[in-house]
């Protein structure tokens, strides 16, 4: 017995020629391949081969009884009865224990000379890195300690490898002390001591172009015991291009040309992932007359674009399926488990928010405690943005002493009780109990895709928890470490998605040789994806990998060059292969075309390079993400009619309408507002409220209002600002609040100086924070004037609005601007013979309301800002010097036009852009392209008179 290479040619698809080899020429009765192990490169390749074998038998009236396909890991994977092999949780625990035992200064070349505080997360990540390195080396039958002996001449930092070897030995000693075997050493042992199942007579290696060194060593060891057939998807005449195990020779394939038929058409460049999807659709449409729906295949070499590609194809009516396994970390059940574990460890208020926003947990709160999701989330957002709590234990007292947070208080009580249960029962029992409560009302139907996936993830979770129940005691005294290791173990696992219907597979590069569709369109043909590479490997640079016989960049290139050639040749006489390279990726970063696309003749190379590096007409000016459905902005059917047709308008809202009628509608009619979910400190509004509150405290105190001692007044204002912060954020204020308080005190100190200066000039305060209202064309206008001053000698009145913006503001410039071509007609006016446009009406309308409620027709009124800017030397009043009754009347006329427009539901068209756009995250480009207009137009036409 021996190993023999069989060259199958490449003029036909790989699945066909492998079936030809495996099946007899005359197929009849029952075909049994039970005595043959068929080695394929991936599980997806095995699935396709089994389907092809079964179909071939069925077409000939026969039945396939058995076909055993395996991947290379079969030869050295875990075996039944390996009770002494350390499970992944134990491995991670031992590595954490190793790094916890390292003293400051030890292993300085690897870990740094400075000591570090204990960090369970660092220990876990570094342990994974070490075990990952050992796993890669095990593919070549090496331990870390072997590297210096085998490749000492190419190791650049021998002292680091010596320390790595010492850490490895510490890890192995601890495992041995526990009576457990290391998985990596066990893998090497199994490769050296192969255990082939009884009844196996032959092994067929079906086109595996880059087998692990460990598999090759295993086959070499058993070649005299079994018939080993090495199937090569290539013609006999290039047999010298391959070694005895069917691996392409890197030196030869580095220079092989890859002729692409009609390359100007079948090699193309697309600007974006979406454009790549467009090219795929073009190929399918153009070939639909000649080929049927099942004759097309789509390859995705760059997995980062797969979601964009699938969405674009779906928009064109093409259903797709990604056969790759999904990471459990992407599933909602994992995210719930992760949030619960992190919350138990950190007590973070932000993690509480993530838990309350989880759909499954919201459903539980509603079903078990009658908590309406909207109430819970709106109260949470309001509480968070108001009080900025950082920890869960900052919340209890505030919630219990206030009647405003009923739903949130109940939700927090439920969460705290569940966390206590988790901590009391321990990880395995506590988590199972907690999840059984949360999902008590869920009905699982295996025929539903989401439930089938849920069961897979739940099973993986249970399996991981069993690891912990079998652990060796390393984490029992450290529940935080136990939760961390459990999460990392679970996150690294995968689950399968079941194919439903007949979608087109979006297959990865290594699976494509096994797809026999006549038309193959391969997207993502970019450097780094094809061939893939391991640039920047901190421990195993390419030179060291080559020396150790591990998969090198040259071998990756040879493998992928062979695969590309196979794709082309098997379709050369009956089909075609199209390669699409992206100009930019999913994140907008520029990409390079794959080197494989330039393996052509010297005469063709310049033109191909010019085409693949050339500019494209299509450019991406905005981020790729987009809203997948158009929004219907008309009011919901259950909305209060009095809110739909406004009866009242705040004076400050006119500015919003003059900026953009549609954004005004979203904000003031629908009540939409942006929620800053990442807010960790006082924003501009909070800062302004703090300063305003301190100043109003001054106005409420008659003695302070009249105080002419700057220091006394400044201290009073500073104390009031401190009081505001403590009432809002508690005694343990977050650092951003402390910084804001310091800034406010500086500004208030200058405000005290400015206020005393006004007193000495003869000004006195008549009113502060006084509410005014007036009716204008049937609309009630309301507003609160910060401050009304009067000069004792002249009787002049000042209507003052406090401003805490970064720079000082001029009232005239803030309200009126020069007209522009895009200025809305409703804002246009002429003042003193010059065309102007209103952009705010606040101060003139304050004057209008003040006059309406006060008998002061003969008194001069000056609108003013009291500026409290970041540049504190600019603190003080800014007067609207040329304000006149005519300007006031013109502003009122503009307000009447706005009132009429609002009453008649004139909320369109939107402005292209506005300053400080609250809706920029919702409409990242043209608003009209994101709005479904039919319903909204009907709403606007239903205007009231």
Domain hosting 509: range is: 263-323+505-612
CATH number for the domain including 303?
A: 3.40.50.300
The reply to whether 400 and 472 lie within a common domain is yes
The total number of structural domains that make up the chain: 6
The reply to whether 473 and 374 lie within a common domain is yes
Q: Is 227 helix (H, G, I), strand (E, B) or coil?
A: strand
Tokens of 472: 């060796």
The neighbour count for residue 112, using CB atoms within 10 Å, is 11
Task: Decide: 902 and 649 in contact? Cβ < 8 Å.
Answer: yes
Question: 838 falls in which pLDDT band (50, 70, 90)?
Answer: very high
Tell me whether residue 628 is in a domain.
no
Tokens of 717: 């204002």
The reply to whether 379 and 475 lie within a common domain is yes
Judged on CB neighbours under 10 Å (0-12, 13-18, 19+), 103 is exposed
Q: What is the total residue count of the chain?
A: 945
Whether the pLDDT of residue 624 is over 50: the answer is no
Tell me whether residue 12 is in a domain.
yes
Mean pLDDT of 56-61: 93
Task: Output 115 or 216, whichever has higher pLDDT.
Answer: 216
The reply to whether 801 and 866 lie within a common domain is yes
Tell me whether residue 43 is in a domain.
yes
Of 190, 212, 228, which residue sits at a domain end?
190
Question: 245 falls in which pLDDT band (50, 70, 90)?
Answer: very high
Of 728, 760, 792, which residue sits at a domain end?
760
Q: What global pTM score does this model have?
A: 0.81
The reply to whether 724 and 735 lie within a common domain is yes
The reply to whether 937 and 793 lie within a common domain is yes
The reply to whether 664 and 551 lie within a common domain is no
Average pLDDT, the chain: 91
**Residue 526: per-residue pLDDT:** 96
The DSSP code for 572 is S
As separate numbers, helices (DSSP H) first and strands (DSSP E) second, the chain gives 36, 22
Tokens of 251: 């030196």
CA dist list (Å): 30 to 24, 150, 416, 904: 11, 51, 63, 80
CATH number for the domain including 873?
A: 3.90.320
Tokens of 239: 């047999």
The reply to whether 809 and 926 lie within a common domain is yes
CATH number for the domain including 10?
A: 3.40.50
**What are the residues whose beta carbons fall under 8 Å from the beta carbon of 868, sequence distance 6 or more?**
691, 747, 748, 750, 751, 802, 803, 804, 875
First to last CA, the chain: 97
390: left (phi over 0), alpha (psi -120 to 50) or beta: alpha
66-70, 140-144, 310-314, 802-806: least confidently modelled range: 310-314
Question: 394 falls in which pLDDT band (50, 70, 90)?
Answer: confident
The reply to whether 360 and 307 lie within a common domain is no
The reply to whether 756 and 772 lie within a common domain is no
Tell me whether residue 255 is in a domain.
no
787 sits in which H/E element: strand 779-791
The neighbour count for residue 853, using CB atoms within 10 Å, is 11
Query: What percentage of the chain has pLDDT greater than the value 90?
Result: 69
735-744, 787-796, 918-927: least confidently modelled range: 918-927
The reply to whether 319 and 332 lie within a common domain is no
Task: Decide: 270 and 580 in contact? Cβ < 8 Å.
Answer: yes
The reply to whether 347 and 315 lie within a common domain is no
CA dist list (Å): 732 to 394, 415, 723, 737: 9, 23, 13, 10
Tell me whether residue 786 is in a domain.
yes
Tell me whether residue 627 is in a domain.
no
* 135-158 confidence digits (pLDDT tens): 999 999 999 999 999 998 888 889
């Amino acid at each position: 017995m021996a190993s023999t290479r069989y060259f199958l040619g490449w003029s036909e698809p790989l699945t066909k020629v492998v079936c030809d080899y495996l099946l007899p020429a005359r197929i009849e009765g029952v075909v049994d391949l039970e005595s043959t192990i068929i080695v394929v490169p991936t599980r997806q390749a095995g699935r396709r081969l089994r389907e092809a074998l079964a179909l071939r038998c069925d077409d000939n009236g026969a039945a396939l009884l058995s076909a055993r396909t395996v991947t290379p890991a079969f030869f050295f994977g875990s075996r039944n009865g390996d009770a002494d092999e350390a499970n992944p949780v134990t491995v991670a625990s031992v590595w954490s224990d190793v790094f916890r035992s390292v003293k400051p200064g030890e292993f300085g070349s690897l870990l740094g000379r400075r000591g570090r505080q204990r960090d369970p997360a660092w220990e876990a990540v570094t342990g994974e890195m070490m075990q990952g390195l050992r796993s890669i080396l095990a593919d070549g039958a090496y331990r870390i300690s072997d590297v210096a002996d085998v490749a000492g001449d190419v190791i650049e930092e021998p002292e680091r490898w010596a320390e790595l070897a010492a850490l490895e030995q510490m890890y192995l000693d601890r495992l041995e002390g526990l009576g457990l075997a290391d998985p990596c050493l066990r893998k090497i042992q199994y490769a050296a001591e192969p255990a082939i199942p009884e009844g196996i007579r032959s092994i067929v290696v079906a086109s595996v172009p880059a087998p692990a060194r460990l598999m090759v060593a295993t086959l070499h060891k058993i070649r005299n015991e079994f018939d080993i057939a090495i199937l090569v998807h290539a013609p006999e005449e290039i047999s010298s291009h391959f070694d005895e195990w069917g691996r392409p020779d890197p030196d030869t394939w580095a220079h092989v040309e890859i002729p692409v038929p009609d390359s100007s058409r079948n090699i193309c460049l697309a600007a974006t992932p979406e454009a790549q999807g467009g090219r795929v659709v073009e190929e399918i449409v153009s070939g639909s007359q000649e080929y049927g729906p099942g004759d097309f295949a789509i390859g995705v070499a760059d997995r980062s674009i797969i979601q964009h590609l699938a969405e674009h194809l779906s928009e064109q009516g093409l259903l797709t399926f990604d056969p790759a396994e999904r990471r459990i970390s992407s599933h909602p059940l994992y995210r719930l488990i992760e949030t619960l574990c992190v919350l138990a460890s950190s007590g973070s208020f932000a993690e509480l928010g993530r838990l309350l926003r989880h759909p499954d947990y919201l459903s539980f709160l509603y079903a078990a405690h009658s908590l309406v999701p909207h109430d819970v989330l709106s109260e949470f957002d309001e509480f968070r943005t108001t009080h900025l709590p950082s920890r869960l234990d900052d919340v209890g007292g505030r919630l219990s002493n206030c009647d405003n947070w009923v739903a949130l208080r109940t939700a927090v009580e439920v969460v705290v009780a569940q966390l206590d249960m988790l901590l009391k029962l321990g990880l395995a029992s506590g988590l199972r109990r907690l999840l059984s409560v949360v999902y008590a009302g869920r009905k699982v139907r295996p025929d539903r895709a989401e439930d089938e996936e849920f069961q897979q993830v739940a099973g993986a979770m249970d399996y991981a928890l069993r690891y912990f129940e079998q652990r060796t005691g390393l984490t029992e005294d450290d529940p935080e470490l136990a939760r961390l290791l459990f999460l990392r173990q679970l996150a690294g696992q995968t689950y399968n998605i079941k194919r439903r219907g007949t979608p087109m597979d979006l297959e990865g590069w290594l699976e494509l040789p096994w797809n026999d569709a006549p038309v193959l369109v391969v997207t993502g043909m970019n450097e780094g994806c094809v061939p893939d590479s391991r640039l920047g490997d901190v421990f195993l640079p390419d030179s060291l990998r080559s020396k150790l016989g591990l998969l090198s960049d040259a071998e990756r290139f040879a493998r992928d060059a062979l695969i590309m050639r196979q794709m082309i040749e098997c379709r050369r006489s009956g089909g075609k292969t199209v390669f699409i390279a992206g100009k930019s990726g999913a994140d907008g970063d520029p990409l390079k075309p794959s080197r494989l696309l330039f393996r052509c003749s010297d005469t063709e190379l310049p033109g191909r390079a010019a085409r693949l590096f050339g500019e494209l007409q299509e450019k991406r000016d905005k981020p790729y993400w987009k809203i997948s459905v158009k929004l219907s902005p008309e009011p919901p059917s259950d909305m209060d009619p009095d809110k739909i047709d406004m009866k009242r308008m705040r004076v400050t809202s006119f500015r919003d309408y003059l900026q953009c009628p549609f954004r005004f509608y979203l904000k003031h009619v629908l009540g939409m507002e942006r929620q800053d979910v990442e807010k960790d400190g006082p924003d501009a509004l909070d800062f302004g409220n703090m300063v305003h509150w301190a100043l109003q405290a001054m106005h409420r105190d008659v003695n302070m209002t009249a105080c002419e001692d700057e220091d006394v007044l400044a201290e009073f204002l500073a104390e009031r600002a401190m009081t505001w912060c403590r009432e809002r954020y508690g005694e343990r204020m977050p650092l951003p609040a402390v910084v804001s308080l310091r800034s406010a005190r500086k500004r208030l100190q200058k405000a005290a100086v400015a206020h005393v200066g006004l007193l000495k000039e003869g000004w006195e305060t008549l009113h502060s924070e006084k509410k005014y209202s007036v009716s204008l064309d049937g609309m009630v206008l309301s507003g609160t004037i910060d401050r009304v001053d009067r000069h004792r000698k002249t009787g002049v009145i000042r209507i003052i609005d406090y401003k805490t913006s970064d720079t000082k503001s001029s009232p005239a410039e803030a309200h009126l601007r020069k007209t522009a071509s895009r200025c809305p007609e409703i804002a246009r006016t002429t003042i003193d013979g010059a065309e102007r446009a209103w952009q705010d009406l606040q101060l003139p309308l304050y004057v209008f309301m003040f006059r309406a409620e006060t008998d002061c027709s003969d008194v001069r009124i000056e609108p003013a800002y009291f500026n409290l800017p970041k540049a504190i030397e600019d603190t003080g009043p800014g007067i609207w010097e040329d304000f006149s009754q005519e300007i006031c009347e013109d502003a009122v006329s503009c307000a009447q036009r706005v009132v009429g427009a609002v009453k008649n539901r004139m909320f369109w068209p939107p402005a292209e852009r506005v300053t400080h756009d609250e809706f920029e995250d919702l409409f990242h480009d043209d608003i009209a392209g994101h709005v479904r207009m039919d319903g909204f137009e009907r709403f606007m036409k239903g205007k009231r008179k």
